[in-house]
Amino acid sequence: MEFKNLKAHQKDGRELWLDENVVSASTFLAAIHMKERKGGLTDKEEDMKNLALAYLFLHNVVEERNLLEDVESFFTKETIH
């Protein structure tokens, strides 16, 4: 595989930021699910679980409806190598 032929491309910084938080929310939910199966959650843990689920739901709505397209962003384009 030749790396010199690979081209860098640019991606909206807010998409990278939001996608990074999808990973964080998903990782948290996997861990909290295991804890929940072992013996339940505290009220705070339940709140955090619901917050992570809400984030994933809203992220999906934003992606499906392409809602970021018409919103001004303070993020810059990031170069992906």
* DSSP collapsed to 3 states, the chain: CCHHHCCCEEEEHHHHHHHHHHHHHHHHHHHHHHHHHHHCCCHHHHHHHHHHHHHHHHHHHHHHHCCCCCCCCCCCEEEEC
pLDDT for res 5 = 54
pLDDT values of the chain reduced to their tens digit, one per residue, 81 residues: 555 555 668 888 888 999 999 999 999 999 999 999 999 999 999 999 999 999 999 999 999 999 988 888 777 788 887
pLDDT for res 33 = 97
Give the side-chain half-sphere CA count within 13 A for 50. Answer: 7
This prediction has a pTM of 0.78
pLDDT for res 79 = 82
